[in-house]
Amino acid sequence: MRRMEFKMERMGLLTVGDVLPVTEGKLPGSYYYTLGQAYAMSANYTFGERLQSKEGTVAAIEETPKGYFVTVEFDE
């Protein structure tokens, strides 16, 4: 089980247990991931950290002083 954190701009878009698709984006030296229909975005990951799954399950949603963060679990 692999867990990744995504940054979300506002609450109410997702609930725990939602199964959402993940889209991979490519930068010159790294990859990033978009959750669902642009609900949240990941940090940048190197080639070795690349995600293999195409969908994940929302495990947790939390509000911090830096914003809203979504933890998603993938079967890897």
Count: domains in the chain: 1
Give the global pTM. 0.89
Q: What is the pLDDT of residues 36-69, one digit of tens each?
A: 999 999 999 999 999 999 999 999 999 999 999 9
Note down the domain range covering 11: 2-74
Integer Cα distance of 19 and 16 in angstroms = 9
Helices (H), 1-76: none
Cβ 70 vs Cβ 33: under 8 Å: no
pLDDT-based confidence at residue 17 (cuts at 50, 70, 90): very high
Integer Cα distance of 14 and 36 in angstroms = 10
